[in-house]
Structure 1
Amino acid sequence: MQASLVSALQLSELGAQVFDCRFSLADRDAGRAAFEGRRIPGAHYADLERDLSGPIRADTGRHPLPTPDLWLKRMGRYGLRTDTPIVAYDDGAGVFAARFWWMLSWMGCEQVSLLDGGFHQWTKAGLPMEAGEDRRKITPTALMLDADSALQVDAGAVHNALDSDATLIVDAREAIRFSGEQEPLDRKAGCIPGSVNRHFAQNLSQGVFKSADELKSEFALLLGDRDPTEVIHSCGSGVTACHNLFAMEYAGLHGSRLYSGSWSDWIVDPARPIEVQYAG
């Protein structure tokens, strides 16, 4: 997978296809409202739940992946082309944009970058904006791409890895959720047994990504002697985990995988073990 960043100034000169991925778990309409309020000119809006997720069922987490065919059909409606650069952004941290990046990379589309610092950096640079409802007439595209199943794992693979010291499960949630002290979003608190915590915000410094060298050093300490291919990324629902995965790829640590269902999927089956580190 290729992971690259562009600055606001670079994006303004790039002529890329731009996707606005702003979203709020606390207010599901806030992202669309922000998009219509102010956005980067020419951007399309990619909604976490309407575009970047599939239907929720009793046996899924909060943001299951759509089927590859459904995902390609959705992106085709936006006229997505694979022959020109694609840039995704959100408010700033990049978590929702990273989910968009991973999903296109999953389909073999490698020309996807993140706007470093997101919309905040675009605004800070004083670059042009547009506003209002997007009324463009878009010519749909028929995307012929294939999903790479090796880039993700399911709950069964994670369960099988619990008995292996070789596999490292990295959880991107806040420490207070990882430890089980608080759980504002899911029915159960805690973490997958044996997993380690690296909150996605540790990939950032002053609102932008740390350098590739700095990220490589930090993840090397976390991995120890393990190869990057032995890392599985998790979080609450498969969103912020993509941020850690992007950071590893950007740092040159290639081949880690995503548990797309993550914690909200793990706890669907009461037979799966959980660990609560918070002692109260």
Structure 2
Amino acid sequence: MPYIINVNRLKNRLQNRQGNTVIIDVRFDLSDPDAGRKMYLQNHLPGAVYLDLEKDLSSRPEKHGGKHPLPDLELFAAKIGNIGIGHETTVIIYDQENDMFAARLWWLLHILGHERTYVLEGGYNKWVEEGNAVTKSLPVLAAKEFRPHLKENQTVDIEEVKEKLENEAAVLIDSRSKERYLGKEEPLYKKAGHIPGAKNYFWKDIYKKDGTWKSKGDLQQHFSSLPKDKDIIVSCGSGISACPNILALKMAGFSKVKLYPGSFSDWISYEDNKIETKEE
């Protein structure tokens, strides 16, 4: 499948010394922001460099904009070049397993126009389960020039969300669990429920029961009730778990897919915004 690479392909690439490959570890724990970096320092795939969700893949939160605002893309592009990624570099991203953080980095590179970007199927756990080596050694990085080719119209802000929902010009997806969508539980924010009009597509439903990615045909079936002639705005809590859904929608053939980076955490930062707790 496009955008996904399995362990065997990555292993063969490394064994055959196919050059110009950068592997990025993005393991993270929302409840323990230091956990991912600690795991990386303990063990990681050979040659992998670590990028942190909150220090590298997001900017500092402010009053509005959500819990994980997008990083400054110019600074982010410079950082990508500094870790050895150029126009011809193949980038392979892994999480602990098939998690949300690898998709966040995939999406950032995607909107910067870097097409040779793949998520490792099964992540770190799958690599280890198949008997492959890990290391504590830190890679020696050689900076390259990374010239972004920014794709336009890939995100929406809160005003565009409101306008397009009012005009029925878009469909809004909430990627969080059903329980959080319905306001039955909310572990992260002071308010519970969802943005009025949002439809629930839990991000983990893009995987099969064994945790692996669904096929293109299964993803097309999963999203079959969504229109292809309207914008699909994808949200979640703070623009992270929306990204696996965006990747899956792209694999299913949807082209008019946009991220609402602030998502629910941005929406509730405005006191007057209403919240819904019923299925839509």
Report the TM-score, using the length of structure 2 for normalisation: 0.92
Q: Does 1:42 align with 2:44?
A: no
Q: Does 1:211 align with 2:226?
A: no
**Shift of residue 13 of structure 1?**
1.7
State how far apart, in whole Å, the 2-side matches of 1:244 and 1:204 are: 10
State how far apart, in whole Å, the 2-side matches of 1:229 and 1:77 are: 38
Aligned to 2:152: 149
State how far apart, in whole Å, the 1-side matches of 2:59 and 2:78 are: 12
- Gaps in structure 2 of 5+ consecutive residues: none
Map Cα deviations across residues 171-223 of structure 1 (whole Å, 9 max, x no partner).
110111111111111121111111011111101111210111101111013x1
Aligned to 1:171: 174
Greater than 4 Å deviation, 4+ residue runs: none
SS in 2 for 1:208: coil
Aligned to 1:269: 270
Q: How does 1:120-131 map to 2 (within 5 A)?
A: 120-131=125-136
Q: Is the 8 A contact 1:237 1:261 kept in 2?
A: yes
Q: Does 1:119 align with 2:118?
A: no
Q: Is the 8 A contact 1:245 1:256 kept in 2?
A: yes
**Shift of residue 156 of structure 1?**
0.9
Match for 1:212: what amino acid?
Answer: K
Map Cα deviations across residues 118-150 of structure 1 (whole Å, 9 max, x no partner).
111111111111125x2x442323322132231
Match for 2:181: what amino acid?
Answer: F
State how far apart, in whole Å, the 1-side matches of 2:121 and 2:42 are: 21
**Shift of residue 68 of structure 1?**
1.2
Q: Is the 8 A contact 1:162 1:193 kept in 2?
A: no
State how far apart, in whole Å, the 2-side matches of 1:21 and 1:236 are: 19
Q: Is the 8 A contact 1:229 1:254 kept in 2?
A: no
Q: How does 1:12-161 map to 2 (within 5 A)?
A: 12-14=11-13, 15=18, 16-132=21-137, 134=138, 136-161=139-164
Say what the alpha-carbon RMSD is for the aligned residues.
1.6
SS in 2 for 1:264: helix
Paired residues in the alignment total 272
Map Cα deviations across residues 61-94 of structure 1 (whole Å, 9 max, x no partner).
1100011111112222212222021111101123
- Gaps in structure 1 of 5+ consecutive residues: none
State how far apart, in whole Å, the 2-side matches of 1:261 and 1:68 are: 16
Q: Does 1:196 align with 2:195?
A: no
Map Cα deviations across residues 231-258 of structure 1 (whole Å, 9 max, x no partner).
1000000000000010011122223111
State how far apart, in whole Å, the 1-side matches of 2:142 and 2:74 are: 18
State how far apart, in whole Å, the 1-side matches of 2:111 and 2:84 are: 19
Aligned to 2:242: 241
Q: Is the 8 A contact 2:220 2:252 kept in 1?
A: yes
Identity of aligned residues (%): 34
Distance 1:41 1:29, change over 3 A: same
**Shift of residue 229 of structure 1?**
4.7
Q: Is the 8 A contact 1:7 1:116 kept in 2?
A: yes
Match for 1:40: what amino acid?
Answer: L
SS in 2 for 1:71: helix
